[in-house]
Amino acid sequence: MLELTVISGCQTDGLVSALGMLLPEARVRALRAHTLMGEQRAANVAQLRQADIVFSMPLPVYFEEFTIEAMRASGNTVLCVPQLEFSGLHPDVVYAADKKGWAQSPTSDYHSKIALAAYICGLSPARTVRLFNTYIFEKLDYFKFYERCRQDSISQFASEGIVIDDKFERWERGSLSFMYTSNHPKPFVLADIAIAACKAASLRSEALFPYDFMADFLSSSFLLPVFPEIANRHGFDGHRRYRLAGGPGASVLSLEDYVRESFERYERADIGEWRLTQSTKDAVVKLRDLLSLPRGMARISTDWEAAS
Report yes or no: 32 and 83 within 8 Å, Cβ to Cβ: no
Bigger pLDDT: 100 or 150?
150
Q: Find the mean pLDDT for residues 205-223.
A: 87
pLDDT of residue 274: 94
- Judge if 139 and 237 occupy the same domain: yes
Is residue 150 in some structural domain?
Answer: no
Model confidence at 206: pLDDT above 80? no
Please, which pLDDT band fits residue 259 given cuts at 50, 70 and 90? very high
Q: Residue 79 sits in a domain of what CATH number?
A: 3.40.50
- Judge if 44 and 138 occupy the same domain: no
Please, which pLDDT band fits residue 66 given cuts at 50, 70 and 90? very high
pLDDT of residue 116: 98
Please, which pLDDT band fits residue 305 given cuts at 50, 70 and 90? low
pLDDT of residue 179: 97
- Judge if 11 and 134 occupy the same domain: no
- Judge if 63 and 43 occupy the same domain: yes
Give, in order, the Cα–Cα distances in Å from 39 to each of 13, 44, 112. Answer: 21, 9, 35
- Domain of residue 194 covers 3-83+183-213
Please, which pLDDT band fits residue 100 given cuts at 50, 70 and 90? confident
Separation of alpha carbons 241 and 258, rounded Å:
8
- Judge if 37 and 129 occupy the same domain: no
Q: Find the mean pLDDT for residues 191-207.
A: 92
> What sign has the CA pseudo-torsion 272, 141, 138, 142?
negative
pLDDT of residue 222: 95
Provide the number of structural domains found in the chain. Answer: 2
- Judge if 24 and 136 occupy the same domain: no
Model confidence at 83: pLDDT above 80? yes
- Judge if 265 and 232 occupy the same domain: yes
Is residue 45 in some structural domain?
Answer: yes
Model confidence at 193: pLDDT above 90? yes
- Judge if 133 and 253 occupy the same domain: yes
- Judge if 79 and 97 occupy the same domain: no
Is residue 163 in some structural domain?
Answer: no
3-state secondary structure of 6: strand
Is residue 172 in some structural domain?
Answer: no
Please, which pLDDT band fits residue 303 given cuts at 50, 70 and 90? confident
- Judge if 202 and 139 occupy the same domain: no
Is residue 169 in some structural domain?
Answer: no
pLDDT of residue 307: 53
Q: What is the mean pLDDT of the chain?
A: 94
